[in-house]
Amino acid sequence: MRALLFVALAVVATGSLAAKPDWQPVGETANGNKVFLDVASKRSSGGIWTVTYRTEIKAPLETSGGAITTMKSRMRVRCADGTAAGLEVTLYEDEASNKVFARNRASKVEYLKEPAGSSADLVVKAVCRK
């Protein structure tokens, strides 16, 4: 019984039972890109939300290896002043097969107002909705 409990705790601690993404639409940018928030990833601590969202790019960006069709981003949102700080951005040539074109992590966490109508702005508004 103790061995079973230990295994269960180890699986939970390593994140193997992480919640499956629950992508909810939050809107469309001025360019027609569709934006989705993973509501299963939302976490709050001290008035700051950490979220994951994805943007389906309407006009794919051509690269030598294919076309960038999707962008996944993680950011922190501070609803008190409506600002956000980007943490990581991943660009996919083929998200379904996990073919990553580029992944960038922020070297500094800096809270800023997002441009009106941008993917991040739509997410901030969705997260901070009362």
- For residues 53 and 3, what is the distance between their CA atoms, to the nearest angstrom? 38
For residue 37, with 0-12 CB atoms within 10 Å meaning exposed, 13-18 middle and 19 or more buried, which class applies?
Answer: buried
Q: What is the pLDDT of residue 129?
A: 87
Judged on CB neighbours under 10 Å (0-12, 13-18, 19+), 23 is middle
Predicted structure pTM score: 0.80
Q: Are 102 and 85 in contact (CB under 8 A)?
A: no
> 76-90: per-residue pLDDT in tens?
999 999 999 999 999
Q: Residue with structure tokens 């002043």?
A: 81
Domain ranges, ordered by start, for the chain: 20-127
CATH number for 20-127 (one of 1.10.3470.10, 3.30.413.10, 2.40.128.710, 2.160.10.10): it is 2.40.128.710
Nearest CA to 55 out of 98, 95, 108, 103 is that of 95
